[in-house]
Amino acid sequence: MDGAGARFATGTIAECSFDGTRNSLIWIPDSIIAMFVLPSRPKDAKWLPAAERDWLENKLAEETIVEQSERLPLMKILLSPKILILALVYASTAAISQGLSLWQPQMIKSFGLTDVQVGWINAVPFAAAVIVMLLWSRYSDKTRKRVMSTVIPMCVAAVGLIFIPWAVSLPLFMIVVSIVLMGTYASKGPFWSLSTEWMGKREAVAGVAMVNALGSLAAFGGNWVIGAIHDNTGSFGLSMLPLMILGFVSSAVLIIAARAQGKKTLNV
């Protein structure tokens, strides 16, 4: 990747690295204090009533017994089709959200705006996505339809990506990209609820780590693909098409997997 795209990506990565290092240093003293101040077990939490302390201790003891008696091999968990399917689904949402987070300012800049204008306008789709994410998560919790609550917004995001090449005016582009981000972020809450419910206690720790790791890897790969296509074609619209395909494929795979497990109502 070279040219303006490379300079933008390099500056963004450097800024994120600095911010991450600074934030990490800020939390180091708090972490040290927490090690000595916060209790390690519920029985040592003096602010809890005795009945609640006993209940928590009993629940932890029961979970420990179940975990020791039903432990699964790590590789069996990581290579489980169920885990790989969830990783594919998360990879699509991570690739879309991270791809737009990195490249969306350049897309807005191409309409001839100043840097200050780009900063303000770039925040609008993400603000809308936060509101929709909260409302859709409440709907998912109310209906308990985790699969459909994940698939519907993912498909909305994928459909939105189709129209980015035809969004030739700034207002139209902002509407399209807002729809894409609202769909992407709305799927995240139901997806993680689906993941923990689908995996179970024995698989959750290693499974969630696997899903998250593959999703982060996909986000990196997605940014590289977007940059490579843009450098060769000069079109941000065309560079979004692989993300659209990934969104549709992962949605279809999730529906097929849910039906294969006998969840024909998609009530997961």
**Any domain includes 43:** no
State the average pLDDT for the chain. Answer: 80
The answer, yes or no, to whether residue 2 has pLDDT greater than 50, is no
**Any domain includes 13:** no
pLDDT digits (tens, 9 = 90+) for 40-93: 777 777 777 888 878 888 877 776 654 544 555 667 667 778 888 898 999 999
Specify the pLDDT at position 262. 64
Mean pLDDT (whole number) for 94-122: 91
Instruction: Please give the single-letter amino acid code of residue 105.
Output: P
Provide the number of structural domains found in the chain: 1
**Any domain includes 69:** no
Give the span between the Cα atoms of 187 and 133, in whole angstroms: 7
**Any domain includes 266:** no
Please, is 98 exposed, middle or buried when counting C-beta atoms within 10 Å of its C-beta (0-12, 13-18, 19+)?
A: buried
Percent of the chain whose pLDDT exceeds 90: 34
Band of residue 116 on the pLDDT scale cut at 50, 70, 90: very high
pLDDT digits (tens, 9 = 90+) for 173-225: 999 999 999 999 999 999 998 888 887 666 777 788 888 888 888 888 888 88
Closest CA to 161 of 148, 149, 174, 179: 179
pTM for the structure as a whole: 0.69
Here the CATH number for the domain that contains residue 139 is: 1.20.1250.20
**Any domain includes 59:** no
Instruction: Determine which helix (DSSP H) or strand (DSSP E) holds 180, and give its type and residue range.
Output: helix 170-186
For residue 104, how many other CB atoms are within 10 A of its CB? 20
**Any domain includes 34:** no
For residue 133, how many other CB atoms are within 10 A of its CB? 21
Specify the pLDDT at position 101. 87
**Any domain includes 154:** yes
Specify the pLDDT at position 118. 93
The answer, yes or no, to whether residue 21 has pLDDT greater than 70, is no
Specify the pLDDT at position 128. 95
Give the span between the Cα atoms of 78 and 58, in whole angstroms: 30
146 and 194 in contact (C-beta within 8 Å)?
Answer: yes
The answer, yes or no, to whether residue 263 has pLDDT greater than 90, is no
**Any domain includes 9:** no
- For residue 253, the enclosing domain spans 74-260
Band of residue 13 on the pLDDT scale cut at 50, 70, 90: very low
